[in-house]
Structure 1
Amino acid sequence: MNATEARPEQVTEALRDIARLGGFFALDTVAPRDRAGGGALRDGFAARARAVNDRFGTAEARVGVSIAHLGLAARLWSPVLACALVHGIVPTMSAVDWSGEGTDLCLTESRGRIAARLPSPVEAVHAEVDGVLRDVESGLTAKVAPGLLAGNSASALVGSAAQLLRTRPALRGPLTRLTRELLETGRLRGTGRITGPRLTFRRNSCCLFYRAPGGGTCGDCCLTG
């Protein structure tokens, strides 16, 4: 174990703690023998995208892909942000997998790094989430604009941060700084802007939810006024 690595039990306890925040913050840990890992998330994404199309009654494949991608991004950003800010640990997300037939996630290995010992905690947080998303995107079954996918990630990031702010208001300062810095990192740069102290957001792209029957637009959509 090098100086930046957290002990497995530290990572497990941190994840159990932030799971109490509810919703997308839950990220279970399971023994490696119980899950396949290594590309399983990518391989199972197509079925989740088709389920979205079925649920909303649309045959437009890119709509299901985009909405499922947005949901996945939120399930990745939420626990990583919370772990980094509440416990100072950046969990290693390369071992992430589907927890079951639904959209919940789990980690097949409890690994992570101590944020304060990293050269750039911001880049580390970004890399853990963006690496998983790019792997999933490499196997998409429908063509979706790269800018839209980057916008989905940004939207999910700020939405996760806003939810964390509501549950842990004492984190406002470091949470706002981290969120703003992440929005200037990699492909998130130029995807949108924070519009208020409660981490409201206006993205520069649309997730295509409006194209689903009865879908409408989201609160941060570029198509709203």
Structure 2
Amino acid sequence: MSEFADVLATLRRVRGISPFFVLDVGRPDETWLPGTALLEGPALKETIGTIADRYRTNEPRVAASLFFLSYTARLLCPLTATSTLDGITPDVRPENLWWHYDNANGLSVRLDVPGAGPGISDALNGVVEAIREIVPVARGLLWGNAASAIAGALRTMSRTGALTAEEAEARGEQMLANPPFAGTGEFLPFPGEVTFRRRSCCLYYRLQGGGTCGDCPLAK
């Protein structure tokens, strides 16, 4: 098969794991923005402001973290699955994405062309730096969000039978072994379950009624 066919085939294979593993392909309607609008122009700043208003926070770094949590979940769940099951990493660089945000549906992303791309860190780095140009949020926090998305994807794959817990944990250790993921968290021994504890906090607890996430270092 061609590269395009291989990517489409693996995306179809993983989309049934859960809704977060669905990554559609093709140019959408005119309400969507090209991924390059994440890197330049006012769209990213406006979206972070919209998220801040939606969650009634006056802390831009909280809204920025929430945006990146959603962004990485939408991209890294399918990427973790495709790279683990088929050894294929679709191209999710901003230059090959479309995205849309509204308060009713949250963030949606899709690929423009179903090609193979670089590693996850290369695909995300530009968006990390673009966020930091707008909001003074720590790199470690943002990469911790991405690590949390990878660990969450592997946990779901284990629970749905795509991997055993042991296979999922081993894959997680491999994916998070090198910078910028090294040091973002650790997998904890727990029989039959993938358990991850990150070293940074996503700041969700800063929202009214937000609480802490299951992998938060602040959780008791």
Q: TM-score range by the shorter chain?
A: 0.7 to 0.9
For residues 167 and 109 of structure 2, what CA distance do their matches in structure 1 show?
26
Quick check: 1:130 aligned with 2:130?
no
Report if the CA contact (8 A) 2:66-2:204 is conserved: yes
Query: Of Structure 1 and Structure 2, which has the larger fraction of its residues in helix?
Result: 1
**What is the root-mean-square deviation in Å for CA atoms of aligned residues?**
2.5
Quick check: 1:84 aligned with 2:74?
no
Identify the residue that residue 187 of structure 1 maps to in structure 2.
180
Quick check: 1:212 aligned with 2:211?
no
Secondary structure of residue in 2 paired with 1:24: helix
Q: Percent identity?
A: 33
For residues 212 and 105 of structure 1, what CA distance do their matches in structure 2 show?
25
**Could you tell me how far 1:33 is from its partner in structure 2?**
10
Quick check: 1:139 aligned with 2:134?
no
**Could you tell me how far 1:99 is from its partner in structure 2?**
5.2
Q: 1:51 to 1:91 in 2, by over 3 A?
A: same
Q: What's the TM-score once normalised by structure 1's chain length? A: 0.81
Letter matched to residue 151 of structure 2 = V
Identify the residue that residue 152 of structure 1 maps to in structure 2.
145
For residues 139 and 165 of structure 1, what CA distance do their matches in structure 2 show?
33
Gaps of 5+ in 1: 114-123
Moved more, 93-102 or 21-30: 93-102
For residues 183 and 163 of structure 2, what CA distance do their matches in structure 1 show?
28
Quick check: 1:111 aligned with 2:110?
no
For residues 70 and 29 of structure 2, what CA distance do their matches in structure 1 show?
27
Matches within 5 A, 1:1-225: 7-31=3-27, 37=34, 39-42=36-39, 44-94=43-93, 95-98=96-99, 101=102, 102-112=106-116, 127=119, 129-140=120-131, 141-195=134-188, 196=190, 197-225=192-220
- Report how many aligned residue pairs link the two structures: 208
Q: 1:31 to 1:163 in 2, by over 3 A?
A: same
Letter matched to residue 25 of structure 2 = T
**Could you tell me how far 1:174 is from its partner in structure 2?**
4.0
Secondary structure of residue in 2 paired with 1:138: helix
Report if the CA contact (8 A) 2:48-2:67 is conserved: yes
For residues 98 and 86 of structure 1, what CA distance do their matches in structure 2 show?
26
Report if the CA contact (8 A) 1:11-1:110 is conserved: yes
